[in-house]
Each structure stands twice: as C-alpha cells, then as structure tokens.
A and B are shown apart, each in its own frame.
Chain A
Amino acid sequence: MRIEISGLTKTYRGGVAALDGLDLTVPTGMFGLLGANGAGKTTLMRILAGVVRPSSGRVTVGGHDLATGAGRTAVQRELGYLPQDLGVYPDLTARQFLDYVALLKGMDDRAVRRRRVGELLEVVALTPHADRRLRGFSGGMRQRVGIAQALLADPQLLIVDEPTAGLDPEERIRFRTLLSQFAGRRTVLLSTHIVDDIAQTCREVAVLAKGRLIFRGTADELVRRADGRVWSVVTDGPPPTEGTVVSALPHENGMRYRVVAADAPGPGARPVDPALEDGYLALTTN
C-alpha cells in the first residue's frame, strides 16, 4: 500500500507543532523513519493509524483518503499498528487479549481467529505463557504481545513505532528478521531510535526533524552523507571536541573515538568508512 503525504501539519492544543508541512511518499516494502525525540515520527504514525487527525494536509493510503471516515476504516482494515506507548489489559491473558483485538479487527470466524492467535503466539515465542494474565508479563513479553496483535489480521500495512524497545538482543534480531520476511509486497513503516535496526532491514529511509522532512532516499544515500566525515581518533587525553562522538572504545593507548566531523578532529585522526548511524548524525548535526 503506497502512502502519499502532502502538506501534513499537526498542531496540538497549546500550539505545539508536531508536524509542519510534511511531504512524503512511502512505497511498498520496508521503509525506515528516523528522527530525534520530538521530530514528529510518533505523531505521523498515529495519523497514519487513524488514531489522531491532522490539522491540515492530505494523506492517502492505498488510494484511501484518511480525511474521510470511510477512508480511515478502509485503511484500518488493512492495518497492523504497534504504538510506541504500548499498553495491554492486565486482567486478560495473552490469548484473550489477542482474541479481543482480533475480534475488533473483524476476524469473526472463531476457528480462523483461534488458529491465527495460536500461530502468532508461537511466532513471538509466547505459547508457554499464552494463558497467563498479562499483569505478570515483563516489558519484553508485553512488547511481544504487541507485535503479535499488530500482525493479527495479516495486514497489508504495518506501522511499528519503536518495536524493539524492551526486547533482548536475540529477540530484537528475530523480530527484525520477521519484519523483513513479512514485508514482501506489503508496506512496513518502521520508526526507531536504533539506527542499526533500520540499517539491517530498510532500503529506503526518511529522516524527520522538528516536524519536517530533512532527508528521503535510500539507506546507502544516507550513509554517503557522511563520506569523508567519519574519523577514528586514538588518544589518552580528553575526547575530541570537534564534531560528534559516535562511539568510544577502550584502547591499549587510551581510548578509540569514532567521530563525525567535517574536518579531522585532531592530530592522528584517520578517515574511516561511514555507516548509517554516521550518515544520520552527519545529516542531523549539519
């Protein structure tokens, strides 16, 4: 499902502008959304999910206009949504919660619903805990329930906001793989702070800042934004003050810093190949 966004603005009560005239096209496949806190990613996702209404602008998803009730309902029939601030009913079991959401998604056939809930519990490795109340679930387990509910009705559009928050590294990798496999001919919009998740899964990326689009292109193009601007510096003195320090690793001669800066951040700094995170930093700190 292709997403077309033009002139999208959202201003909350109190005058806080979360989105400011955003234009963006999201094609079929995995698409990454990056941006600092407050960049407008979550607001954009909530608008696409039909949970929040925009102040102005136009959004169509698969040709359906989100400004109309019929359009929103049509999109929501094809939608799987994992919100950033995921919550569950603590008094239901994982199986009951998924059954409830499945019913609300229109999965009326009991046998089909039960089978799908069972499959997804297996996918997120919660089968042994399926009949336990969600009250006793850890954050990571709840997140997996959230992932399962998003996949319930075999959605054509999957919107996932910080999906790997709270997952351990193994779960994170498993979920990333699951998302990539799931995407195929569907649209998956992935928003995250974890740039590596985008690097491993998305060919195309958008970066938001202060409610505006500051980059739209392939992940490789974003990486190239840092060409000639990534440096490795080994020092036993204070960290480099030029540019942005991406990482700091203990080294036999002090510390090894990876720095994104326009010019060499100090004597002995040597250029290194950029990664997606460097490209993102080069873009946002420019």
Chain B
Amino acid sequence: MTGAFAASLRYEFRMQVRKRSVWIVPALTLVLFVLIGGSLLRDLFDPAERPPEARTAVVGLAVQLHGLLAIGFGCLLADRLVRDDRLRVASILDATPAEPRARLLGKYLGAGAATAVPILVAYLGFALAYAVDSGGPGAIGWALVAFVVVFVPGLLFVAALALAGPLVVPAPLFRVLFVGYWLWGNVVPPDTMPTLSGTLVHPLGGYALTALLHFRGIDGEDTLAGPVSGATLNFLRPDPTPAVAVLSIGVLLALAVAVLACGHALRVRRAR
C-alpha cells in the first residue's frame, strides 16, 4: 500500500508541478486581480491603507487568494484522473499489483500538492513581503496558520471534487460547473438566495475564519459564518464556536473522502 501510494504521490506531483499551466493560471489570475481591483494586495503595502493588525491583513489576504486561486486549482486538477484512460496508461497501471486505492490517494495528494505549490508560493510571498514592509514578523506565523486552517481543508475538498467530477461529466463541462459552484458557494450573500456561504460546508472556511482566526472581514464587520437573518439553509449555520469550526473542517474533509470514494467506485465499475 505505502509503496504504491508513495510512487503515485511522487510521480503525480512531478508531472503536475512541471505543467506550465499550473504556474501560468495562478500568475495570470493574480495579475488580473491586481489590475481590476484587488485592493488588499495593493493596500497591504500602503501604511495608510493596510489593516492595523498583521493577523487581519494576512488572513484577509488568505480569504482573497483562496477565493480566487481555488477556481484555477479546481480547473487544473480536472483532467488528472480521467487522463489515465485518455492517455491509455490505465491498463498498464491496473495490471500492476499496486492497490488502486493507494494509487488514487497518491494521485490525489500528489497532483493536489503540486497544484497548490504556486498558491502557497504566492500567499507566503505576499505575506513575507508584508512582514518585511510592515516590520511585523508575526505575519508569517499567522500566514502559516491561515494556510493550514483555511487553504488546506478547502483545497483538499476542491481536489477531490475535481478528480471525481470529470468521471460524471466531461472535464470542460466540469470546469464550467465548478466555477459556478465556487462563486455560488462563496460569493453569493446568504440572504439573497440559498447558498453554501456561511454554512458548515462553506468551502472558503467561514467557520475556521470566524471562530479560530477571529476574522470578520478587513473592516471587522462581515459575517462569514453563523445564522443570517432571512437566509435559507440556516440549519447549516450554527453559531460559530471553535468546536463547530473544527467540525466544519472535519465535514469538509469527510466530504472529500466520500467524493473520492465515489469516484473510485465509479471508475472500478466502469473498468469492469
């Protein structure tokens, strides 16, 4: 199990991290974001405009980058599982004694980690530049915490969705649907229409942001988790507490495992 997992992890990481699009897509997204109004990215380096607290600044940065770059992350991973069949490599791999679940897990974590590298580089790069510019080294610590608490669960969930989704719909269509889902689940305010925003399964990590990082937006007035007056799906929005935040992370990870398991079962069934 471990040999196949490690082999798959290593080579899937290697293949994905070498893909130019894995670097170009987030880079272009960031450039576009700065050009069309990514205010925080510019404000971070303006002493008059940036948030007074390092924690608010880097966690706010995490929210913006996660919300933005996870779209490309999901789209870039969408071909990883189905391409084994497309490239006709699957029968060679399936004829080895390597446990298919171990290979899938290795592919999931390897390709996912490789696709997350540019996001990590961009985020920690901005956080480091901010720490130097503001003279607050604590920003690096907050950035690492935010990466683990906000980015990692969200990206693990997105990666599972992106690997399994194209087994059900073609990868190009999946990408379109995924962008729609991401905007609907993160951007749409809960009181305008039913949305996953602010729920336990908020992919952007509203509960972790609110209850673990005490973040309520750059200006401290946003509601990222918990019940919203007039919103539907409030049963999925309990009051944000640290325990509920951990539960929210657990739910996202459990959903990732379930999605991946369904994808595996579907692929095995089709291969037969």
Docked-complex contact B11 and A100, CB < 8 angstroms: yes
- How far is B26's CA from A179's CA once the two chains are assembled, in angstroms? 49
Minimum CB–CB distance for A7 against chain B, Å: 18
Q: B229 near A: Cβ within 8 Å? A: no
> Quick one: CB contact mask for A6-50 with B, threshold 8 Å, 1 for yes?
000000000000000000000000000000000000000010011
Of the listed residues A77, A86, A100, A108, the one surrounded by the most CB atoms of chain B closer than 10 A to its CB is A100
Which residues on the A side are within 8 Å of B11 (C-beta)?
A: 89, 92, 96, 100, 103
- How far is B216's CA from A19's CA once the two chains are assembled, in angstroms? 64
Q: B87 near A: Cβ within 8 Å? A: yes
Which residues on the B side are within 8 Å of A49 (C-beta)?
A: 91, 94-95
**Which residues 92-129 of B sit at the A interface, judged by CB distance below 8 A?**
92-98, 103
Minimum CB–CB distance for B102 against chain A, Å: 9
Q: A225 near B: Cβ within 8 Å? A: no
- How far is B93's CA from A89's CA once the two chains are assembled, in angstroms? 11
Q: A79 near B: Cβ within 8 Å? A: yes
Q: Which of B7, B90, B94, B97 contacts A100 (CB under 8 A)?
A: B7
> Quick one: CB contact mask for A54-98 with B, threshold 8 Å, 1 for yes?
000000000000000000010011010101011111111000100
Q: Which residue of A lies closest to B97 (CB)?
A: A76
Per the CB 8 Å criterion, the residue count for chain B at the interface is 25
Which residues on the B side are within 8 Å of A88 (C-beta)?
A: 87, 89
> Quick one: CB contact mask for B163-206 with A, threshold 8 Å, 1 for yes?
00000000000000000000000000000000000000000000
Docked-complex contact B93 and A104, CB < 8 angstroms: yes
> Quick one: CB contact mask for A83-127 with B, threshold 8 Å, 1 for yes?
101111111100010001101111010000000000000000000
Q: Which residue of B lies closest to A105 (CB)?
A: B96
Docked-complex contact A108 and B97, CB < 8 angstroms: no
Docked-complex contact A91 and B19, CB < 8 angstroms: yes
- How far is B268's CA from A51's CA once the two chains are assembled, in angstroms? 10
Which residues on the A side are within 8 Å of B272 (C-beta)?
A: 52-53
> Quick one: CB contact mask for B18-31 with A, threshold 8 Å, 1 for yes?
11000000000000
Minimum CB–CB distance for B129 against chain A, Å: 32
Minimum CB–CB distance for B8 against chain A, Å: 8
Docked-complex contact B7 and A81, CB < 8 angstroms: no
Q: B271 near A: Cβ within 8 Å? A: yes
Which residues on the B side are within 8 Å of A105 (C-beta)?
A: 96-98
**Which residues 69-98 of B sit at the A interface, judged by CB distance below 8 A?**
87-98
Closest 10 CB pairs of A and B: A87-B88, A103-B7, A81-B95, A104-B96, A104-B98, A76-B97, A49-B95, A83-B91, A87-B87, A53-B272
B-contacting residues of A (Cβ < 8 Å)? 46, 49-53, 73, 76-77, 79, 81, 83, 85-92, 96, 100-101, 103-106, 108, 146, 149
Name 18 interchain pairs, CB-CB below 8 A, sorted by A.
A46-B91, A49-B94, A76-B95, A76-B96, A77-B97, A83-B88, A85-B88, A85-B91, A87-B87, A87-B92, A96-B11, A96-B14, A100-B7, A101-B96, A103-B7, A104-B8, A106-B98, A108-B3
